[in-house]
Amino acid sequence: MEYRELIACHECDALFRKPPRLRGLVARCSSCGAGMKGVRHAGLTLERVCAVTLAALITFLIAQAFPVLVLETNGLTSHATLVGAVQALWKGHMHIVAAMVFCTTMLFPSFELVALLYLLLPLRAGRVPRGFDAVLRLVQWVRPWGMTEVFMLGVLITIVKMVSLARVIPGTSLFAFGALTLMFCVIAAFDPCMLWEIRDEVANRGGAFIERTPRRARRNTVPAAVAPVARPAAAAVTARHAGLVACHCCGLVQSRSAHATDQHCVRCRSPLHERRPESLTRTFGLLLAAALLYIPANLLPIMHTSSLGGAEDDTILGGIAYFWRSGDWPLAAIVFVASVMVPMLKLAILTLQTVTAYRGSAWQPLERARLHRMVERIGRWSMLDVFVVSLTVALVHFGSLAQITAGPGALAFGSVVVLTMLASNEFDPRLIWDNVRRRPARAPTRP
C-alpha cells in the first residue's frame, strides 16, 4: 500500500505530511534539519532546467575540443587538454588514476547532462521516455561523482604553479570550464527525485502536464525558508514505528512487508530496506582501507620530474612547502586544507560515526548528523591534487629537456578519496537517530 501524502526524512526516518508546493520554500526535517528530498517547489521549473542543461552540454563539448592551457618556454610549446591529460596518465602506466580523472571529469558529468535531457524533454512534452526508472536511478548515482568545479580549481592552481617556470597562456577550454562550473551549480540545485512525482502526474493525466508559475505569484511571493521546529527528536514518529518504509531512491512511502525478504519499491523497483544492510561493516572496511593508504599517499612521491639538471620527486607536503616558500600562501593553505586536512577530517568523522553507531550511543545526534552532511559535501574536494598532477603531466613533456610523470603517491591518494566517499555513502545516517529513539523520554520535572 502506498502513502503518497507522506514523506520520510532520508537521514533520520522521521515521518511527515508533504508540504504544499509554494515558491521559495525549502522543506527541512524538524528533527535533524536535513533537506527533504523529492519535495516539489516552483523555484526551478522544467523549462529552466532544460535550458541550462542544454547550454551546459554545448559548453562541455567546447571544453573538450580546445586546450585548457598552453605552455611556452625557450621556443618550445606544449598544450594540455582534458583528453590529453587522461592519455598522458594512461601512457605513464597510471591506469587507475587515468580512469579516476576520466570518470569524474568527462564520463559522469556528460552522462548526467545527456540523461537529464533525455528525461526532461519528453516529460515537458507530456510523455514518459523509455527506461525512465533505470536512467533516473543512474543519474542519482553518478551525480555525487561529477567534479567539474574541483577540476576548475585544480586548473587555477596549476596556472600559478607553472607561471614561475614558463609562460602560461589560458586556452579556450579554461573559459568554457569556468562557465560550465556555474551551470553545474544551477543544475545541482535541481533535485532529480522530483522527476518521480512528475512522471506519475504525466502517466495519470494521460500526457497533459503543464508546469507554469503565474506571474502574479512570482511578483507577490517572497522567498523564505522553513525553519526547523523545536521538537524533541525522540518524539518524532518514524516510518519504522508506523510500519512503513521509504524508498531510498524515489522517496515513496509504502507499507512494509513483514514476510518478504526482498521487497521492492512499487514505483521505481529499487530494493527496499529499513536500514542499509551491513552498513557499519562495509563502512568500517572501506574506512580501514582508506586509513592504510593515507600513509603512503603522503610519503610516496606524487610527481617525478626529470630534466637536464637531474631528477626530483615531489610529495604532497613538498608541494605545499613549495607554494609557501614562493610566497603563494593562499594557495598553500588551499592545498593543505584540501589534501591534508580534509582527508584526515573525513577519516576522523567517519570513525566517530561508525564507533558511536556500533556502540548504540545517543551522544549529540544532531551534531553528528551535521558532521555527516559536511563529510558528504567536502569529500570530493580532496581530488584537487590528482587533477593538478594530471594537468602538470600533460603540460610538461618537452622530451629530453624536461618531463613530469605521475608517481605512486597519486594512485594512493586518489584511492583514499574514492574509498572515503564510498564509506560515506555506505554509512546509514538513520542509525544515529535509532539509538536516540530507543531510550525512553524523561518525564518533565516540576520546579
- pLDDT, residue 181, reads 93
127-141, 162-176, 287-301: least confidently modelled range = 162-176
Provide the grid cell at 391: 594537468
Where do we find the cell 505530511?
Answer: 17
23-32, 43-52, 74-83, 171-180: least confidently modelled range = 23-32
- pLDDT, residue 331, reads 80
* CA atoms of 304 and 311, how far apart (whole Å): 7
Question: Which band of pLDDT confidence, cut at 50, 70 and 90, is reported for residue 402?
Answer: low
- pLDDT, residue 214, reads 41
* Mean of pLDDT over the chain: 82
Strand partners of residue 2:
254
- pLDDT, residue 232, reads 46
Provide the grid cell at 148: 567539474
Q: Does residue 229 register a pLDDT over 60?
A: no
CA distances from 321 to 108, 235, 332, 409 (A): 33, 52, 7, 17
Question: Which band of pLDDT confidence, cut at 50, 70 and 90, is reported for residue 285?
Answer: very high
* CA atoms of 198 and 204, how far apart (whole Å): 10
- pLDDT, residue 114, reads 96
- pLDDT, residue 176, reads 94
- pLDDT, residue 415, reads 94
* CA atoms of 428 and 343, how far apart (whole Å): 20
Q: What is the pLDDT of residues 2-14, one digit of tens each?
A: 677 888 888 888 8
Of 377, 387, 370, nearest to 420 by C-alpha is 377
* CA atoms of 424 and 246, how far apart (whole Å): 20
Q: What are phi and psi of 319, to 5 degrees?
A: -65, -40
Fold type of domain 276-438: Butyryl-CoA Dehydrogenase, subunit A; domain 3 (1.20.140)
- pLDDT, residue 259, reads 66
Q: Does residue 248 register a pLDDT over 90?
A: no
Of 341, 356, 349, nearest to 372 by C-alpha is 349
* CA atoms of 285 and 198, how far apart (whole Å): 39
- pLDDT, residue 222, reads 35
Question: Residues with Cβ < 8 Å from 321, sequence gap 6 or more?
Answer: 332
Question: Residues with Cβ < 8 Å from 140, sequence gap 6 or more?
Answer: 192, 193, 249
- pLDDT, residue 215, reads 43
Q: Does residue 230 register a pLDDT over 50?
A: no
Of 77, 94, 109, 263, nearest to 183 by C-alpha is 109
Question: Which band of pLDDT confidence, cut at 50, 70 and 90, is reported for residue 442?
Answer: very low
Question: Which band of pLDDT confidence, cut at 50, 70 and 90, is reported for residue 44?
Answer: low
- pLDDT, residue 41, reads 57
- pLDDT, residue 115, reads 95
Q: What is the pLDDT of residues 357-375, one digit of tens each?
A: 998 888 888 899 999 999 9
| Contact in structure between 168 and 69 (CB atoms under 8 Å) | yes
Query: Would you kindly state where each structural domain of the chain is located, as residue ranges?
Result: 276-438
Work out the average pLDDT over 183-189. 90
CA distances from 82 to 61, 151, 366, 378 (A): 11, 10, 41, 23
Where do we find the cell 600562501?
Answer: 329
| Contact in structure between 296 and 408 (CB atoms under 8 Å) | yes
Q: Does residue 337 register a pLDDT over 80?
A: yes
Q: Does residue 147 register a pLDDT over 60?
A: yes
Where do we find the cell 533516473?
Answer: 136
* CA atoms of 125 and 122, how far apart (whole Å): 5
Instruction: Spell out the SS3 assignment of the chain.
Output: CECCCEEECCCCCEEEECCCCCCCCCCECCCCCCECCCCCCCCCCHHHHHHHHHHHHHHHHHHHHCCCEEEEECCEEEEECHHHHHHHHHHCCCHHHHHHHHHHHHHHHHHHHHHHHHHHHHHHHCCCCCCHHHHHHHHHHHHHHCCHHHHHHHHHHHHHHHHCCCEEEECHHHHHHHHHHHHHHHHHCCCCCHHHHHHHHHHHCCCCCCCCCCHHHHHHCCCCCCCCCCCCHHHCCECCCCCEEECCCCCCEEECCCCCCCCECCCCCCECCCCCCCHHHHHHHHHHHHHHHHHHHHHCCCEEEEECCEEEEECHHHHHHHHHHCCCHHHHHHHHHHHHHHHHHHHHHHHHHHHHHHHCCCCCHHHHHHHHHHHHHHHHHHHHHHHHHHHHHHHCECCCCEEEEECHHHHHHHHHHHHHHHHHHHCCCHHHHHHHHHCCCCCCCCC
- pLDDT, residue 332, reads 85
CA distances from 18 to 28, 39, 229, 271, 436 (A): 11, 7, 15, 23, 25
